[in-house]
Structure 1
Amino acid sequence: MEAALRNCDMCFKQSENSDGTTLLRPPEYPMVALGNRVCLMLPNREPMNDGHCIIAPIEHMAGGTLKCDDDMWDEIGNFMKSLMHMFAGRRQGVVFMETVLSVQPSRAGHCMIECIPLPIDKAADAAGYFKEALLSLGDEWSQNRKVIDTRLKAAAIRRGGFRNTMTSRLAYFHVWFDPHGGIGHVIETPDAFPQWFGREVVAGMLDLPPTVYRKPRKLTESHNQRRDRAEEWKKQFGWDKFDWTKMLE
């Protein structure tokens, strides 16, 4: 765990000054909003488009958000709802994607959900695009269904939903179209599954080149530059109006 924390760019890190005081360094990702357990940040690589952001637990968690507790999931849902309202005011929808290629803490990185806005007409067709892409995967002898519907069927009896449908014991890909769920896929051969699968589907919808989703360029920024980029993002999209974390102050 110490090695994972030391090498994780998404984690806050503690270090001791020469006078014995403790210094807390923020993640190497621009921080937009901080809840009690979960935060909203911007990618540390070139974003796919304007608005591209990330929801992630503050505490280092490896192996997927299925391992998050109820309090974390309440905050994840709050961020999803806030982003949906924010982008809806700009005539945009948003997809939330998570790719977990390993559930072993020693191999898995800090879990995160990527949030990518789409034009409203493209967002309406997103489920069809993702379903078609998952059905076209080459796993001919897969033991699990290629497309798993994770939408919440009835909130009163908690039937369906991402957390009740998928398992944290297996690698997976999941895309939410709203906080109630979307489409999941069990990754049976992680070595053969492209880590950029979800971004590739979105790029196909938006006619973006492979350089945008395969290996986007890492941004080399100072702490002040990351802070300025987060502030510019908040002003551009009017985030303060939708920031649910203000209720915690």
Structure 2
Amino acid sequence: MAAPRILLAGDAVGRLNQLFKRVASVNKSAGPFDALLCVGQFFPDTSEQLEEFNDYIEGRSKVPIPTYFIGDYGVGAPKILSVVAKKSANLGFKMDGLEVFENLYWLRGSGKFTLHGLSVAYISGRHLSVSQQFGVYSQDDVDSLRALTDEPGIVDIFLTNEWPKGVTNGANPSSIPSGILDSPTGDSTISELVVEIKPRYHIAGSVGLYYDREPYANAGAVHVTRFIALAPVGNKVKQKFIHALSPTPASKMSAAEICTKPLNTTSSPYALAEQDESGNGSVKRSADSTSDSQYWRYDVTQKRQKHGDGHGDRLCFKYVSSGSCPRGEKCHFRHDEDAREQSIRGVCFEFLNKGKCERGTDCKFKHSLQEEGQGVSNRRSGSGRSNRSKECWFCLSSPSLESHLIISIGEYCYCALAKGPLVEDHVLIIPIEHLPNSLSLPPECEKDLFRLQSSLKAFFKGQGKEVVFFEWVSKRGTHSNVQAVPIPSSRASSVGQIFNLAAKKLGFTFETLQNDSSSEWRKTLQTHVDRNQSLFYVEVPGGTILLHIVDDNEKFPAQFGREVMAGLLNMPDKADWKNCQMSKEDETKMAASFKSQFEEYDPNN
């Protein structure tokens, strides 16, 4: 496949017509290009220039290619971006851009995402001492970025508004812009981040100059970094404000290609000097301070954010958020299993990550650390609507949740082993949002459900088993759960017959639907849910759905599916889950064993 083609631009300063006219021209003559990445101030300097911006917001002018910006400051930025942040499509933790209007995306705070195969990291805004909602990055944004980029893999492009302090150290003097030689500039925090992230390309703006530095070597990495700074759009001295790149993603390159160093490669500018009294050079962080900063976030015991200098009782962020820490016993921070269990519950990711969330009441997630028995999470917890039951066994935010049984968590659904299982690998697929049945799921959640079902089928097939899925959909239901019970392949052909016999004993007949790839059968079932009817369905191995619509005056056993499966497996004494309860210790071991075996099949791994 051809390498992605990317355009880079400096400070737009609200001159969108000039910027996009040039982009359209370059795209026509040398394109097509896949995206435009803008650094430096994106919004205008004066209110008079807002009319041009509004032409795009109101659709009178169009953005020619997908455009991403990080310079969320300038006249009009707070008003416009406040509206953008409240759009329903932009709620939740989105690192790949909040849509401002068609083809324009705001990269907010800090983050890392994949763009046409390229790994792109960014930190938005400037480093100012004043606190404001937009246009400024905080220490929390810095720590978050460190944690995100600590994962394996090379970052292809790193976007910052400000230059890194000391970037000209060791460079060819004739290539350095005179404005920089006369007045050294740069942000030491950006320098620290570049040293740690080691991107292949570092793009910056805001200084008002174009500068394409010679590539430099990185300590502890085989690849080089290229620093490119761009001038403002339409600058009077006609310095370059747009630049084209076509880098092959590092993930697609061979080891030999990644190791290649051009003849003009210099030493790292940040390894050549430490911060001196005159302010020249760059800051070198000790190995301990560099690696420690990303591992702690919040002291859950004290129920408040910690920012002290001492480690004290602070929690390891890596351990709480992911369940593991590469530092192991050498980590200076606390690896608390109770806090880890809390981390899979329902607090807003932005609040957990930054201690605040500007979405306020429009956000669907919790904005407070929970009391003991509840918890915090960096995952989506659901709708947060008033009808959520605090006693619901399946809500991630509930104190009744048996979190040690959870085996996989996706963006919209999670899997857990059944409490009082029919067999040890009896699995429940549960929407994270508090919905009464799986037929009410939005499309993106339904896709998550299908992925988990497919993975479970493949996992059990490798063990010589088939899996039976069934769900009791009650119009008085609280939180949906689709049950998945594995059976020996030798008994798969009997499933339909056994369920039909059980139905006959209860005096009804199943309607048979075909389980095709288009999932039309789910649309058929959804029509009954819309009529507020209860129903039971079972997915029989081989592609058949057995459906029963329950009449209002019909007494239908809620445990019907389990009772039939218990009979099929010759385990009639296990028809009632209460007869199958285990100790928490045994349940924990059972879940750990399942996760270990399921790891290679888990779509959320």
Alignment TM class, shorter chain as reference = 0.7 to 0.9
Larger strand proportion of the pair = 1
TM-score, normalised with respect to structure 1: 0.77
Identify if the C-alpha distance between structure 1 residues 218 and 120 changes in structure 2 by more than 3 Å, giving closer, same or farther.
closer
Matching residue of 2:431: 57
Secondary structure of the 1:162 match is: helix
Within the candidate set 443, 446, 451, 1:78 is matched to 451
CA–CA distance in 2 between the matches of 1:81 and 1:92?
A: 14
Superposed CA deviations along residues 51-95 of structure 1, whole A, max 9, x for unmatched, are 101001011112x21111111111111111111111111111110
For residues 164-203 of structure 1, the aligned pairs below 5 Å read 164-166=524-526, 167-168=528-529, 169-177=532-540, 182-189=545-552, 192-203=555-566
Secondary structure of the 2:468 match is: strand
Matching residue of 1:20: none
Matching residue of 1:163: 523
1:87 aligns with 2:460: yes
Identify if the C-alpha distance between structure 1 residues 26 and 214 changes in structure 2 by more than 3 Å, giving closer, same or farther.
closer
CA–CA distance in 2 between the matches of 1:65 and 1:190?
A: 24
Matching residue of 2:499: 130
Matching residue of 1:230: 591
Within the candidate set 437, 440, 457, 1:67 is matched to 440
Conserved 8 A contact 1:49-1:116 = yes
Mark the structure with the bigger radius of gyration. Answer: 2
Using the aligned pairs only, state the percent identity. Answer: 23
1:120 aligns with 2:489: yes
Secondary structure of the 1:244 match is: coil
CA–CA distance in 2 between the matches of 1:179 and 1:73?
A: 21
Matching residue of 1:143: none
CA–CA distance in 2 between the matches of 1:92 and 1:68?
A: 28
Matching residue of 2:598: 239
| 1:182 CA drift (Å) | 1.4
Conserved 8 A contact 1:134-1:185 = no
CA–CA distance in 2 between the matches of 1:204 and 1:194?
A: 15
Conserved 8 A contact 2:493-2:541 = no
| 1:187 CA drift (Å) | 1.3
Matching residue of 1:214: 576
| 1:130 CA drift (Å) | 1.3
Matching residue of 2:402: 28
Superposed CA deviations along residues 138-170 of structure 1, whole A, max 9, x for unmatched, are 25xxxxxx31223235x4xx4842333452121
| 1:230 CA drift (Å) | 1.9
Larger deviation: 165-174 or 69-78?
165-174
Letter in 1 for 2:538: V
Conserved 8 A contact 1:37-1:59 = yes
Secondary structure of the 2:471 match is: strand
Matching residue of 1:13: 397
Superposed CA deviations along residues 185-223 of structure 1, whole A, max 9, x for unmatched, are 11114761111111111111111123x11242475766x
For structure 1, list consecutive stretches of 5 or more residues without a partner in the other structure.
15-24, 140-145
| 1:7 CA drift (Å) | 1.2
Letter in 2 for 1:12: L
Answer 1 or 2: higher relative contact order, Cα 8 Å, separation at least 6.
1
Conserved 8 A contact 2:421-2:577 = no
CA–CA distance in 2 between the matches of 1:199 and 1:190?
A: 22
Secondary structure of the 2:578 match is: coil
Conserved 8 A contact 1:98-1:173 = yes
CA–CA distance in 2 between the matches of 1:26 and 1:33?
A: 18
Conserved 8 A contact 1:96-1:115 = yes
Secondary structure of the 1:216 match is: helix
Secondary structure of the 2:599 match is: helix
CA–CA distance in 2 between the matches of 1:112 and 1:69?
A: 15
For structure 2, list consecutive stretches of 5 or more residues without a partner in the other structure.
1-384
Identify if the C-alpha distance between structure 1 residues 90 and 39 changes in structure 2 by more than 3 Å, giving closer, same or farther.
same
CA–CA distance in 2 between the matches of 1:152 and 1:123?
A: 16
CA–CA distance in 2 between the matches of 1:190 and 1:198?
A: 20
Conserved 8 A contact 2:563-2:572 = no
Identify if the C-alpha distance between structure 1 residues 215 and 33 changes in structure 2 by more than 3 Å, giving closer, same or farther.
closer
Aligned residues, how many?
A: 217
CA–CA distance in 1 between the matches of 2:400 and 2:542?
A: 28
Conserved 8 A contact 1:35-1:75 = yes
CA–CA distance in 1 between the matches of 2:429 and 2:480?
A: 9
